[in-house]
Each structure stands twice: as C-alpha cells, then as structure tokens.
Structure 1
Amino acid sequence: MAKYENDVRQLLTLIGGKENIQAVSHCMTRMRFVLVDPEKADEKGIEKIPSVKGTFTQAGQYQVIIGNDVAVFYNEFTAYAGIEGVSKDAVKAAAKANQNPLQKIMGALGEIFAPLIPALICGGLILGFRNVIGEINFFHNGTESLADISQFWAGTYQFLWLIGEAVFHLLPVGIVWSITKKMGTTQILGIILGLTLVSSQLLNGFSVADTPAGEIPVWDFGFAKVEMIGYQGQVIAAMLAGFVLVYLEKFFKKHCPEVISMIVVPFCSLVPSVIIAHTIVGPIGWKIGDAIANVVYNGLMSPFGVVFAGVFGLLYAPIVMTGLHHMTNAIDSQLTNLYDGTILWPMIALSNIAQGSAVLAMSVLQKKNERAQQVNIPACISCYLGVTEPALFGVNLKYGFPLICGMAGSCIAAMISVGSGVQAFSIGVGGLPGILSIKPEFYLYFLLAMAVAIVVPFLLTLIVGKKKLSNTDFLGEDIEMTAADTEKSEADTAKSEADTAKEGADEGIATAPKEEALTELKAGLSGKVIPLDDVPDNVFSQHVMGDGIAIEPSSDTVVAPADSTVNAVMADTGHACGLTFANGMELLIHVGVDTVDMNGEGFALLVEEGQKVRAGEGLIRFDKEKIHAAGHPSVTVFIVTEEGSAKNIEYLSGMEAEAGETPVIRFE
C-alpha cells in the first residue's frame, strides 16, 4: 500500500476529480494546481485530510500544503490520478491563462505597488494629521485652524509637507523604480526616468488645471513645441513610461554587442523613454483626465444626477488608483464658483470613508494576524482622515473583495448625498472630518450617508471575507484552529516516525548520523537573523509548516547547521532542501520567496538526497542579485518541520550571524 494512498484518493475527489485538473506540479512544500473550475474544490474537506496542512490560492494557482514529503505525495497523486505532472513554467502559464483580464491587471498592479506600501502608509498618516491641524477650522467660530492660532503647529504643518510631498507628489519615481525592479531591468534608470516626470523645471502637475493654456511653459524646438508639464501624483503616465523604458532596455540588451552594451543600452533606453513620456504618454494621460472631468461635471448637472452619483461613487476609488482623481479639484472649484458650493466633494469624502470601513472589517477578520494588522490599522486611520492610497494599494486592492465592497457602499452613500442635495462650502478635508466642510443645513443628510458608507462596506467585507480569508490566506479563527489541530496531529505522529527512522537504521537504510548531545543548530547563512513572522510569505510567516527562523543573507552559500542527512532536495530548481538530524529533528531550508518560479536560474544544488553531510558543509549556492532581479526576496527560511526528540526549542533572532558558527536554534 502506498504511503499516502487514502489521502491521495480523498484529495482527487475533493478537488473535483481528474477532469477539473488543468495542470499540476509541486515545489518544496506544496502541490500546485491549476483548476478548470476552482469552485469545485471542497476547501474545508481538503484541509481535513491528515497530510494536508492548509490550502490557499495565489496568482491563479490552487496550492495544497503538504510539507517535506510533498515529492512522495506528488508522485503517488499523479500515478493514482493518471495525469502527467508539468513544469513550474507550464503551471504558471496555465494559471495566467486561466485568469480573466481584470485579475491579470489587478495582479500586475499589486506587484508594482507592493514595495511602495510602507511609504504610502506613512504619507497617508502624515497627510491625515496635516488635515487635522491645518485644514479643519476648530476655533473662533469655525474660521481658524490649529495652525492658524499657533506658530508651533503652523511650523509643524509646513514641515510635514516635506514628507507628504515626497510620498505623493513624487510618487512616479517610486512607480517607475518598482516596474524596473519587477521586470528585472536597471533600477537606477527607472529612478532617473521617474525624476524627469516630476522635475522642478516643469509646471507642477497639480497646477495644470488652474493654469491658462497660454501660460503653460514649453520647450521650443523650432519645428515643434512640447509643454513642460510635470506628472506629480500621476500613476498611469508613470506606469506607461516605466514599461516603455523596460521594453526598450530589453530590446537593446538583446541586440547590442556585449562589448558596447554598457554605453549603448542605457543611452538608447533612457533618452527615448523620456521623450516618449513627455510627448506621447503624458499628453494621453491628461486627455484621459480632461475627458473624465467633463463627464463628471455634465453628469452631475443632468436630470440623472442621482444615477450618475451612484456611478461616480462606485468608480471613484479605482480612479484614485490611476491618479486621475486630482482633476476633480478643478470641477469642485468650478462648482463652488457657480453655485456657492459643491456637491462633488461630499461624495469624495464618503468614498474615503467607505474604503476605510472595508479596511476596518479586514482588521476585524485578521485580528489574530499581527503582520496584517501592521498594514490594516494605519491604512484604516489614514483612510478615515481622507487619504485612501495606503488602504487601496496596501489592503483592498491586494485582496480584491474589500475594494468591491467599499465601492458598493460608496455608491449607495453618494446617491443619498446627491439625492438630498448635500453641498460642501468648498474642497476640504476628506474622510470622517469631511463633515466639517458640509453646509450646516445638510448635516443630517450627510450623517445618514456617512452611516451607510460605514456600515455597508463593513458588513459586506465581513460576510465575503469570512469565506475567502478562512480558505485562502490562513487568516482568522477557522484557519488558526485548523493549524493548531495540524500541529497537534504532527506532534502525535512525531514519535512513531522517529521509531520508523530507528527501524530503518537497523535495516541498513541511510539515516541521520548519530550525534550525542545535539543541543543547537548553527546559522546556515551569514546575515541578519529575523523572526519567521517577518517573512513575506503567508505559509512561512503564519507558521503553517512549523516554527523556525529566517536570515537576510550576506553570503551566497547555505551550509549544514549540524551533522545530518539530506532527506529531500528540489533537484530541478535547486532552491530548497531538507535535513534530518540525529535526534529525529527535520529542517526545511528554502532560499528566497517564490523562487521556484526561477526554474533553477541562479541556484546550484551541492548535495543529493540521502547524502550525509557534516556541519558547515555547503548545501546550496545561490546568486542573490539574480533573485532580486527576478523580483523575489532572498530571505531564506529554516523551519523545523519535525521536532523529533528535541524539547524546549528556542528560536533566536535579531542578531547578525556567521554561517556555521552562530547558534540560531537551541533545544534539549
């Protein structure tokens, strides 16, 4: 009887049968499926299979976590199912082909903005604080703000803009850099291109709407004139410019002789990119912005204003993600001048609140996930203070459904606001403090709209999230309970597996070398040791595979932490291996995050399965720069997947380690 025969049978049935499997492969710990219909997979049933430690969906792949024995499980599964496994590339390609255009766009946006999230969160909190001290008139019958009556707060208000401007006005620099990083091209060229979009030589992008056409400065080339417009805060123009640079650089790298590439490639990539950005990409972005402004203005003034309000409330958050929302300032200004007030600004404030409420629900759903809360809580605060980018890019876009739930709440709230004739005096602070810019006669109507913007997204996100998060992200009580049950099950079986290993030794089967008084494992790499919680991968950071440590490497070779036997290797990719020690403890070593996608590029496996290794002996050699160029973190995890006879295990972190010398895991 095969080792996992019963589990394999259950998995094939619960995943929807052979006909529901489009492609299957595996990495060091997980089975990776591309399913014809993901809805047919019984996720709760799959997670009850004894050998399954959890499931989640990522980038179109349905992943089932097995652990160190995944290769055995995979071979038994494919044999029983009568299907042929495929390469990692084939699975990845099938997963992408299985995604609809919206999923592909959202995935690309998420990857581009992920490195920018910390800055967006910081900037959001700063702008929210500035709004409170400088934009809300608390004093002297609502005529002066805290900054107006205090020199200290006035100075603070001005100083904080130094950071706020860097985060939001200069955002194109970060976007173009992130694109070059993701696509594996030269990042400094991306930074320079981004700087040319926000140079002080240009008319600030936020001033374009208020500047008469004849007063916009130009470059005069005699035969043509090009407007000197900056793209501060613009997303679409920056992204298009970034991709132009990336594909030009790849083109010239491919066709340029190596001997002159250092000169030709940067020049022929950067200069045309800057020209295209300011002559084609930028003007197209502004035309799109003008078109949106005209549609909004005419729609609000039409007899179908309430219906249009619903559409505007629904779509405002996605518009913010493009950077085109800044054009609404011009519409607001015109409405204020024509009608002594604006009905547009209240809808913007309500959209802020709705997206913040979706994040608040995510915070409730993920209350036991400290890592997620580090993003959720500050993003929610800044959103309620009127700055939505941290919430949109850091939380709602990442998971998808909170964004949709927030849009639904914003839609209903906007219809109530416009249907009740709610007006603001002018452009003011957004979010919850936005009520201070509302004309007093409309307070009650706006409070009703605010209540809808809070309650509807919150409840919708809770309802949808309880199903999605419990099965895809190992977040929330259901999965933590499952993980706890799994750990208990593993503990119960540890003794029997140790006994099996001993019987194998008696029969001459290769086992870990016998070592007396093994009490610690040394660092497998040189670098900074960090807690497993800080690894940017849910499976590792949520301790689904077990406890351990991680190392941000400063060396390029993983070494054995103690005398041991290699019990598993990823021979085709070389990015991971497993070890068994004399006390029955098993260790999983995984170099980088999602590096299975590199298909062995940049990795050299120095050992083979069954080989006995001594402490300090090389296991895996890797190229950190290639890992980063491929868009992956190089952080390396060392996870104890089986404790064996070890007791009172202690995981050490927060120090610089030397490979083969610094103790990182201690036990009795």
Structure 2
Amino acid sequence: MAKYTEDAGKLLDLVGGKENISAVTHCMTRMRFVLVDEGKADVKAIEELPSAKGTFTQAGQFQVIIGNDVADFYQEFTKISGIEGVSKEAAKAAAGANQNPAQRIMGILGEIFAPLIPALICGGLILGFRNIIGEVNFFTDGGVFDLEHGTKSIADMWTFWNAMYNFLWIIGEAVFHMLPVGICWSVTRKMGTTPILGIVLGLTLVSPQLLNGFSVATASPEDIAAHTYDFGFYSFLGTGYQGQVIASLMAAFVLVGLEKFFTRITPEVVRMIVVPFMSLVPAVFIAHLVVGPIGWAIGDAIANAVQWGLDSNFRVLFAALFGLLYAPLVMTGLHHMTNAIDSQMVSIYEYTTLWPMIALSNIAQGSAVLAMTVLQKKNDRAQQVNIPACISCYLGVTEPALFGVNLKYKFPLVCGMIGSALAAMVCTGFGVKALSIGVGGIPGILSIRFDYWLIFAACMLIAIVVPFVLTLIVGGKQLTASERGLAVAGAPAAGGGATVMVEVTADAPAADAAPAVPGSLVAPLSGTVKPIDEMPDPVFSSKCMGDGLCIEPAADACEVVAPADAEVAVTMPASNHAVGLRLANGMELLIHVGIDTVDMGGDGFTCYVAQGDHVQAGQRLLSFDQDKIRAAGHPTVTAFVVSAPGQARDISFAAGTDAVAGETAVVDFKA
C-alpha cells in the first residue's frame, strides 16, 4: 500500500464522497477542493487524519493542508477517487459557481479594480494637493489673506505654484479622466481576452475627437454641431465618457463577449485577422450608440432626484439618504453627475449645499479605513493598502478605500455610510454652504463659507468618530485572526471554548552575517526577516506547516538561494513559485515565494533545479519578478519554514534583521 492510500481514501469519504466534489487540485502545501455542499465535509475528522495539518475555506475553495508531500497525496487521492484533477484556473472557476450572483459580481468587480488601485491612490493624492493650491481662494486681489472674500488661490499668487498646479493635472487627467482605458484593460485581462483591444476601446471612449463628457452640460451649439456625427439615416452627438465607470464596464464586457464569440467560430488560420476586427469595431459602435446613452440616462435620473431632494421640505431626510448612498454611487461612477448640479447651483446662487455632504462622505469612508488600520496593525499585507487608501480618502478620493478595503470586508463600508448619513443630516439641517466644489475630504472645509466653519467642523467630527467607533466594534467581532494579523495560540477547547489570539511581538536578536556552517542556515532571500507569525497567510502564520521565518524581499531581490547543502525534495514545475529541500540530517525546509502565487501559473518565475538535485549553500534555486507578482495582486513576502526537524534539536530563528541571501545566518540548531 502506498504511503497515503489510507488517508486519501478516508479524506474522500470525509469531504462527502465523489458526488460532493465539483473540482480538485493542489498547490505547494494543500489540497484544494470545490465542494457541492461544504456542510457535508467533516472538518474535525479531516483534521485528525495523520496526513492533514489543518483546513480552511477561502474564495469558495475548501483547502486541506498536507505539506511538502501534497503532490504525492494528490496523485493517490485522484487514483482512489477516480476524479480527474483540474487546473487551478478551472478550480477557481468552479469555486465561483458555488457563490451566489451578488458574491460573484462583487468578486469580479474586486478583481477588476484591484490592479487600478495604485494609480487611483497616486491620482487621489495629486488631486488633493492641486485642490489646495489651486481651487481655494485664500487671498483677495490685494494679496490679503481672506477665505470669505478671497478671489485668488495660491496658484494665482505665485508663478511656481501656478506651473505646479497646471503640470500636475497631466497625471490627474491620466488617472481619472482616462479611467475608462484602465477599466477596459482590466476587464479584458480578468476575462482572459486581449488586453490591447481593451486599451484601444477605452481610448475611443475618451478620444479628444469627442465632446468631453464633463463639458456636455455647458457645451455651446457650435461645440455640439462640431461633434455631431451624421450618417445620413442617423446622427448622434459624439460624447466622451471621461471618468465614467458603468459605461466603461458595459463596453468592455461587450468587447469580451464579441471576442469570445468570434474566437469560437473563426478558423484558427484567419483568427488573428478576423477576431480583432470583428470584436473591436462593433464594440466601439455599441459603446457609443447604446451603452453610452444608457449610462447618461441613468446618471440624469439620479441627478434629477438629487436636485428635487435639495429643493424639498424633506431636505434633512434627503440628506440622510444621500449621505448613506453616496459611497455606493462612487463605486458605480455615477457620482460624477453631481458635478453638474453643484456647478449650476454655484453659478445661480453663488453657493452649493450638496458639495459639503460629498466631502463628509469622503471623510466617513476614510475613517472606516482608519479603524481598519488599527484593527489590522499586525497585518502587513493589509496595511499596504489601508494606509495609502485612508490618506487618499481623507484628501477626497474614495475609490482606493472603497474598492481596496471597505467593499472587500463590507462592514467598514456600511459603518462609513451610517456616519456619513448622520453628518449629512446635521450639515444640511444647518444649511451649510460651500463656495466652490472640488475640495473633498478633510481639506473640504477650505471650500466652506467661513461663517459655517464651526458647524462644518462639528459635522466632520461626526463623520470621523461614528464610522471609526462602529468599525472598531464590528471589526473586533467580524475579522478573523489571520485578517487581523494575529497568531492563533490555541485551538478551541473540546467544550466549545474560544480560540485564544495573541499578538506576535517577539523579535529574536539579529544574527550577524556569516557563511553557511553545520548547525546554521543562511537566508534564502535578501530582505527584512520577520517571525513566521507575521506571514499574512493562515497556513504559515499558524505554524501548521512548521516554525520558521518570513522575509519581505529587498527592492532589488529577485533570486532564492539554497540556505545550506541539501537535496531538492520537491518543486512545482507548473508554477515554479516554491521549492522543498532536505538536509543530510533529515531536516526538511520549504521556501514559498509570495502568497497565492500558484495562481500565476509560473508567469514571472523560473526554477533552476529539479527534484533529486543536490545543491550547495548559496546556489540559485528560483528567480522571480516582484513587479509581476504585485501586478497580479499578490504580496511578495516569502515563507522560510522548517517543515520537519529531522535529527536537529534546539532550533532557533533570528528575526528583526536585514538579511543578505546566502550570507546572513537566520536559523541555528544542534545537528
């Protein structure tokens, strides 16, 4: 009987039998099941199997942690079960089928916007800075500082700041006005079609040959005539869709559908010519003749409802509704419609009561993210998004916070909406007026009429405190230990006792750089060494794979080297993202680059060794591309784990140091 035959047979029964398995695959450490009914899986019994080190569910997949021998276990499992294994992408697709429509839509939106977040964060910071120096009139014509009667901004007063204000708009316009380009690219990338066609489609939506979407409301008859396309039997106004999300998403999915259809029916010999033409050209016409007008109709309906609410006797109730729903509007891109209403009110009344509520919504969502930074202070992976998203949100651009944090966890979004609604009620009830638009978030107070500053400051306090406190309370109950960056110190007691969670604070003394010698292991990667507890992955941080370290790669790090003389015990030929080693004393090591990088299918990774090879300390094992890993939405932090001690005793790990690959000793033991 093979090594894992008995456990594989038991696992088949414990997950509910063959009929309960939609798909099965594996990565470097775990079996990944897509189950018809996860409730049929006997988790407790599975975790008692000698081969299993634990279980958890993630992204619709039921995962059983096996360890370095997972490939052998997988082979025996598929042989016993008679189930044909599938690719990781097929397993992910099957996992998606287990989710309800809302979950699938949210998941797709999240994967579409994730690659755009870095650009949105950068653009948000730039726009916030531009608003301060160029949109707020600090000074009078005589150069006197006067916020209430000022007519000149910092950019108006000084040549340097005027040039800075104008030049920075190049970046701001590229990020926000040209957002449809990024959205169309990301949709085609996500759906597995041709990204360059998505880019071209996005460019047609923001072409300078069209009437700028932000200028439609104020366009002159001459502008309209110049941008009208007359085909004889039909004419239409060529309108750009700068900053529009819904129209861009709809257009991109039209392109995806057309490309998949023509790819399926077109002979391969002419596919390169036929498919791009027959996909892109109709998609462009549909985008401008069908998708665009529908998008504008939806926007106009919402804009008219907003204007009616501001003029009604129920303006406080309307303010509560607007404050509650503004953040979801931002996620659809429909919030741009409010700019037309704001501009019209400023031109007629020389003030607007709508913009202050928008600024407060920005603050409320930012405060929810601020609470998440407190809750996840030990989760380095989450903080890479939380901190810049919070800053961007407080400066008036909420997309990074909404798509990167609040929508992901859902409860911070709701807490922010509640705080926004309360602040908006107070703001509108007291009739707070803004002299201009464009200054969002905390700097928004600079656009408020000076005689309303105290009231607006109180509203800002509500928008900060309420979402922050609510998110802390709800998050303390909703977030798992791994999401908070906490280590699981003990399993639930037999009587149903709660799992004990403790913060990981121990930092072992840094080890001096030293060559590999018997009884020590050198760092396999250059970078910052941390305890394995801080690995933002429950499989590694819980130490079910073994104790060890995690390494945040240095900026120029791109290679993994052998930490000691060893035999290559296992590799991952399909993905090349991890390698297992075995020392002469029986100690087994696992080096795993990034988190969930198996999903990349080897893109950005190269493996230089094969199973059974003998390597020397410092010899190159793997290489990787950090930019590709981040572009795929994965952290680059690398796990270095002692998965089996062999004959080694008194193993100790050195964290809190900056290591050099192949030189710095990070693990000591007695052979």
Please indicate the TM-score interval, normalised by the length of the shorter structure.
0.7 to 0.9
Structure 1 unpaired stretches of 5+ = 489-514
1:48 to 1:455, Cα distance in 2 relative to 1, 3 A = farther
Where does residue 285 of structure 1 map in the other structure?
Answer: 295
Give the counterpart of 1:582 among 574, 581, 584.
584
* Equivalent runs, 1:393-472 vs 2, <5 Å: 393-472=403-482
Where does residue 505 of structure 1 map in the other structure?
Answer: none
Q: Matched residues in 2 for 1:153 and 1:219: separation?
A: 40
8 Å CA contact 2:380, 2:485 repeated in 1: no
Query: What do residues 421-458 of structure 1 show as CA deviations (whole Å, max 9, x unaligned)?
Result: 32223324111222232234433432332222111111
Where does residue 187 of structure 1 map in the other structure?
Answer: 195
- Displacement of 1:165 after TM fit? 0.9
1:474 to 1:446, Cα distance in 2 relative to 1, 3 A = closer
- Displacement of 1:229 after TM fit? 1.1
Q: Matched residues in 2 for 1:368 and 1:377: separation?
A: 13
Give the counterpart of 2:213 among 180, 205, 211.
205
> Which amino acid letter does the alignment assign opposite residue 318 of structure 1?
P
Of stretches 64-73 and 324-333 in structure 1, the one that deviates more from structure 2 is: 64-73
Query: What do residues 487-510 of structure 1 show as CA deviations (whole Å, max 9, x unaligned)?
Result: 99xxxxxxxxxxxxxxxxxxxxxx
* Equivalent runs, 1:26-425 vs 2, <5 Å: 27-30=27-30, 32=32, 58-61=58-61, 63=63, 67-68=67-68, 92=92, 95-139=95-139, 140-142=145-147, 143=150, 144-211=152-219, 215-216=223-224, 217-425=227-435
User: 1 or 2, which has the higher helix percentage?
Assistant: 1
> Which amino acid letter does the alignment assign opposite residue 326 of structure 2?
Y
Of stretches 199-208 and 536-545 in structure 1, the one that deviates more from structure 2 is: 536-545
Query: What do residues 200-238 of structure 1 show as CA deviations (whole Å, max 9, x unaligned)?
Result: 111111112222577421122222223211111111111
Q: Matched residues in 2 for 1:564 and 1:424: separation?
A: 69
Where does residue 639 of structure 1 map in the other structure?
Answer: 640
Q: Matched residues in 1 for 2:366 and 2:385: separation?
A: 12
Q: Matched residues in 1 for 2:221 and 2:414: separation?
A: 38
8 Å CA contact 2:567, 2:615 repeated in 1: no
> Which amino acid letter does the alignment assign opposite residue 404 of structure 1?
V
The structure whose RCO (Cα within 8 Å, separation 6+) is larger is 1
- Displacement of 1:355 after TM fit? 0.7
Q: Matched residues in 1 for 2:667 and 2:162: separation?
A: 57
1:52 to 1:273, Cα distance in 2 relative to 1, 3 A = same
8 Å CA contact 1:131, 1:429 repeated in 2: yes
**Residue 337 of structure 2 aligns to a residue in which SS?**
helix
Structure 2 unpaired stretches of 5+ = 140-144, 491-498, 507-515
- Displacement of 1:173 after TM fit? 1.1
1:23 to 1:471, Cα distance in 2 relative to 1, 3 A = farther
Query: What do residues 14-41 of structure 1 show as CA deviations (whole Å, max 9, x unaligned)?
Result: x9999xx987955433465668999999
Q: Matched residues in 2 for 1:436 and 1:574: separation?
A: 53
- Displacement of 1:61 after TM fit? 3.8
**Residue 538 of structure 1 aligns to a residue in which SS?**
coil
**Residue 397 of structure 2 aligns to a residue in which SS?**
coil
Residue-pair matches, total: 624
- Displacement of 1:594 after TM fit? 3.8
**Residue 639 of structure 1 aligns to a residue in which SS?**
strand
Of stretches 206-215 and 115-124 in structure 1, the one that deviates more from structure 2 is: 206-215
Where does residue 537 of structure 2 map in the other structure?
Answer: 539
- Displacement of 1:159 after TM fit? 1.4
1:593 to 1:186, Cα distance in 2 relative to 1, 3 A = farther
Q: Matched residues in 2 for 1:376 and 1:30: separation?
A: 29
1:100 to 1:455, Cα distance in 2 relative to 1, 3 A = farther
8 Å CA contact 2:529, 2:657 repeated in 1: no
1:485 to 1:309, Cα distance in 2 relative to 1, 3 A = closer
8 Å CA contact 1:245, 1:269 repeated in 2: yes
Q: Matched residues in 2 for 1:115 and 1:263: separation?
A: 29
Of stretches 65-74 and 638-647 in structure 1, the one that deviates more from structure 2 is: 65-74
Cα RMSD (Å):
5.5
**Residue 615 of structure 2 aligns to a residue in which SS?**
coil
Q: Matched residues in 1 for 2:347 and 2:585: separation?
A: 79
* Equivalent runs, 1:570-649 vs 2, <5 Å: 578-588=580-590, 594=596, 612-615=612-615, 639-642=640-643, 644=645, 645=648
Query: What do residues 497-546 of structure 1 show as CA deviations (whole Å, max 9, x unaligned)?
Result: xxxxxxxxxxxxxxxxxx995866797xxxx977689x999329985664
Q: Matched residues in 1 for 2:208 and 2:273: separation?
A: 28
**Residue 612 of structure 1 aligns to a residue in which SS?**
coil
Where does residue 491 of structure 1 map in the other structure?
Answer: none
8 Å CA contact 1:469, 1:476 repeated in 2: no
1:633 to 1:340, Cα distance in 2 relative to 1, 3 A = closer
Q: Matched residues in 1 for 2:489 and 2:202: separation?
A: 42
8 Å CA contact 2:377, 2:484 repeated in 1: no
- Displacement of 1:136 after TM fit? 2.5
**Residue 367 of structure 2 aligns to a residue in which SS?**
helix
- Displacement of 1:184 after TM fit? 2.3
1:460 to 1:94, Cα distance in 2 relative to 1, 3 A = farther
Aligned residues with identical type, % of pairs = 60
- Displacement of 1:42 after TM fit? 13
- Displacement of 1:374 after TM fit? 3.3
**Residue 219 of structure 1 aligns to a residue in which SS?**
strand
Query: What do residues 362-393 of structure 1 show as CA deviations (whole Å, max 9, x unaligned)?
Result: 11112233443333222222211222222222
1:288 to 1:380, Cα distance in 2 relative to 1, 3 A = same
**Residue 236 of structure 2 aligns to a residue in which SS?**
strand
TM-score, length of structure 2 as denominator length: 0.75
Where does residue 511 of structure 1 map in the other structure?
Answer: none
- Displacement of 1:337 after TM fit? 4.3
Q: Matched residues in 1 for 2:369 and 2:430: separation?
A: 27
Q: Matched residues in 2 for 1:127 and 1:456: separation?
A: 26
> Which amino acid letter does the alignment assign opposite residue 539 of structure 1?
D
> Which amino acid letter does the alignment assign opposite residue 321 of structure 2?
V
8 Å CA contact 1:469, 1:475 repeated in 2: no
> Which amino acid letter does the alignment assign opposite residue 29 of structure 1?
T
Q: Matched residues in 1 for 2:404 and 2:251: separation?
A: 23
> Which amino acid letter does the alignment assign opposite residue 135 of structure 1?
E
**Residue 537 of structure 2 aligns to a residue in which SS?**
helix
8 Å CA contact 2:482, 2:537 repeated in 1: no
Q: Matched residues in 1 for 2:158 and 2:478: separation?
A: 49
8 Å CA contact 2:487, 2:504 repeated in 1: no
1:187 to 1:439, Cα distance in 2 relative to 1, 3 A = same
8 Å CA contact 1:521, 1:666 repeated in 2: yes
8 Å CA contact 1:43, 1:471 repeated in 2: no
8 Å CA contact 2:590, 2:640 repeated in 1: yes
Q: Matched residues in 2 for 1:269 and 1:557: separation?
A: 41
**Residue 473 of structure 1 aligns to a residue in which SS?**
helix
